[in-house]
Chain A
Amino acid sequence: MSRFQGVDYFCIDELLSEDELLVRKTVRDYVDQKVLPIIEKHYEEGTFPLHLVPQMAELGLFGSTLPAKYGCAEMNNVAYGIVMQELERGDSGIRSFASVQSALVMYPIFTFGSQKQKDHWLPKLAAGLAVGCFGLTEPDYGSNPGGLITRAEKRSGGYLLNGAKMWITNGSIADVAVVWAKLDGEIRGFLIEKGTKGFSAPEMKGKHSLRASVTSELVFQDCLIPEENILPESGGLKSPLKCLSQARYGIAWGAVGSSMACYDVALQYAKSRIQFDKPIASFQLTQEKLVQMVTEITKAQLLCLQLGRLKDQGKEKFAQISLAKRNNVHEALGIARTAREILGANGILNEYPVMRHAANLESVKTYEGTHEMHTLIVGEDITGIAAFA
């Protein structure tokens, strides 16, 4: 397989600035040289390549839209999206790490945190000296996070937390957890540091998807945290949902990355695999598959780019983010499956990335708001009628 050259059927690169293209080149080269050579082994062994964290930090991939005074790159949202796209061309697990660190840990600390919390955590998280995780989902509260039952109670000098979180990316490797719990019935954000008494984060095993990513439970049993660890500006379900909007935005871009990886390998394979004395790319059924793939990639690219431009102007709506996440992940999964078909039996081997992407995307389709919930979010937005709750 020759080196990835990008997919740009509609000259969309012309809509990107020189900086944005340079960011893409940096992350694309990085993924080619440092991620792709090691990812299959980590996937097979079910381990997250922790050694990539300082490298990604050095490149400035964490919290890249946040201010330079916290050690961040202060880039626009399109550049952030491009980072997510390129990371996910490597693996959804690597993108998930960067998504969580940036959108679900640094963003809430930046948005809802005290100055002291920002000064303490943001430079460390940007430099990869600390890893973060985000705890909202619970065993019994997934699509309905408003019902969460993790509780915080005011005690002298602090808060006492009880409850459990599930499906938490980076949980077991995190130095700090942004945890959402009800305080007097209202959802608030709290920072829980690794090693706090009453806090444990066992890793969830047995995943057939996102195997190169750490997924954990967070358990709080009479976990007492200091008073200054509440995120003072957080309040209500809309606080965690704002974080999720950030993360979903990145996922919409990330899905384009997996799609490109699968399309690229399928196209190269189809042109070189000979059956009936000619490349399978010369058969109409194969061409139709490839055309469908490049069509959906092009549509997804344009959705992301316009969404990013809107976000940079502060004009995006959360339902637009839902539409992009919903569409792009759904199509990415279809593209991964179609790529597997084009590769025939070879498609199931780890010599090619398609089965890994397909398996990862099964998670991506469900996390950060299921495909179904995003359908209903857009449905509510266009009809004015909520079909849930």
Chain B
Amino acid sequence: MKLAACINHVPDTAAKINIAADGKTIDKSGVTYVISPYDEIAVEECLRLKEKNGGDVTVISLGGDAHKETLRKALAMGADKAVLLRDDSVRDSSGVARALADYLKELSPDIVFFGKQSVDYDDGAVGVMVAEMLGLPSVSVVVKLDIADGKATAEREIEGGREVLETSLPAVFTTQKGLNEPRYPSLKGIMGAKSKPIEERPTSPVTAKIELLLMQKPPAKPAGRIIGTDVSAVPELVRLLHEEAKVI
């Protein structure tokens, strides 16, 4: 079984993000980067399917040299091969999807996994766009997956419940927390990853369909106010909640 996971290199979710002077990018100084957490679930699902059914796992990332760090981590977790689709430009989601789809068409895996969203821009669009471009069925936000007899049964989260779907293969899935618990790359895995290749591929430029105009941080939270410490403050609290905060 040929398995692929598309993974992104993103700021650590615990990192403090500041917007750069151009107002359109983030200030990368002092920010550590990690594999996007949902993409880690995508890699883990590939590894589990490989362990169960055999096959090989290719991990793919679109970006510059820094993305090799994330590819190396996926190799250390147990992926067999990594591909860096080299691109130093800033792309919108459809541009990212185009480059990934072009490569995946050639690779033609049985299953392609994406994290349900990349935790940098949070578009949640690339996985399903790629499926569309490849003309493959896709199921997003998958929390359970069974593969048998050339078919996949996937469970996905919907508001207030779950939906169970069946699809033929090849197919694209985007992964949600709960599907699995990603393994840590072991020290042996890290050593083993050194001898695994990272193939670099050029990408064709695309015309952006969407232009980013401005990034803004949420307004700073005002400081808390203490309006009293005993029951006598209740009427004033009620008044403020009603008239000022407008929550009651």
Contact = CB atoms under 8 A, between A and B. Distances in A.
A60 B32 contact: no
A281 to B, nearest CB: 16
A34 to B, nearest CB: 9
A73 interface: yes
A75 interface: yes
A328 B15 CA distance: 28
B190 A5 contact: no
Given A18-B69, A18-B72, A22-B72, A6 B187 contact: no
Interface in B31-80: 32, 34, 68-69, 72-73, 76
Contacts of A21: 69
A29 B184 contact: yes
A73 B188 contact: yes
Interface residue tally on B, bucketed by range = 10 to 19
Interface residues of A, number: 25
Interface in A59-103: 59-61, 64, 68, 72-75, 79, 83
A2 interface: yes
Interface string A51-64: 00000001111001
A237 B218 CA distance: 65
Given A5-B15, A19-B190, A74-B191, A26 B32 contact: no
Nearest to A80: B187
B187 A75 contact: yes
A5 B185 contact: no
Contacts of B191: 19, 68, 73-75
A21 B73 CA distance: 10
Given A3-B14, A6-B32, A22 B186 contact: no
B194 interface: yes
Interface string A1-40: 0110110000000000011011101100110000000000
A264 to B, nearest CB: 12
A22 B190 contact: yes
A74 B188 CA distance: 8
Nearest to B35: A25
A60 B69 contact: no
A358 B184 CA distance: 30
Contacts of B32: 5-6
Contacts of B76: 22
B200 interface: no
B14 to A, nearest CB: 4
Interface string B166-203: 00000000000000000011111111001000000000
A19 B194 contact: yes
A321 B73 CA distance: 32
B14 A73 contact: no
Interface centre among B15, B188, B189 (most CB of A within 10 A): B188
A7 to B, nearest CB: 12
Given A5-B32, A18-B69, A25-B73, A60 B188 contact: yes
A26 B14 contact: no
A18 B65 CA distance: 12
A77 to B, nearest CB: 13
B92 interface: no
B190 A68 contact: no
A29 B183 CA distance: 11
Contact of A26 (B12, B68, B69, B190): B190
Nearest to B14: A3
A60 B186 contact: yes
Contacts of A59: 184, 186-187
A251 B99 CA distance: 48
A83 B184 CA distance: 14
Contacts of A74: 191
Contact of B12 (A5, A30, A60): A5
A2 B184 contact: no
Contact of B184 (A5, A26, A72, A79): A26
Contact of B188 (A3, A29, A68): A68
Interface of A: 2-3, 5-6, 18-19, 21-23, 25-26, 29-30, 58-61, 64, 68, 72-75, 79, 83
25 contacts: A2-B14, A5-B12, A5-B14, A5-B32, A6-B32, A18-B68, A18-B69, A19-B191, A22-B72, A22-B73, A22-B190, A25-B34, A25-B185, A26-B186, A26-B187, A29-B184, A30-B184, A59-B184, A59-B186, A59-B187, A60-B186, A60-B187, A60-B189, A68-B191, A73-B190
Task: Identify the 7 closest CB pairs spanning chains A and B, nearest first.
Answer: A60-B187, A73-B187, A3-B14, A60-B186, A26-B184, A60-B188, A73-B188
Given A19-B191, A60-B187, A73-B190, 17 more contacts: A18-B69, A19-B194, A22-B69, A22-B72, A25-B73, A26-B184, A26-B185, A26-B187, A26-B190, A59-B184, A59-B187, A60-B186, A60-B189, A68-B191, A73-B187, A73-B191, A79-B187
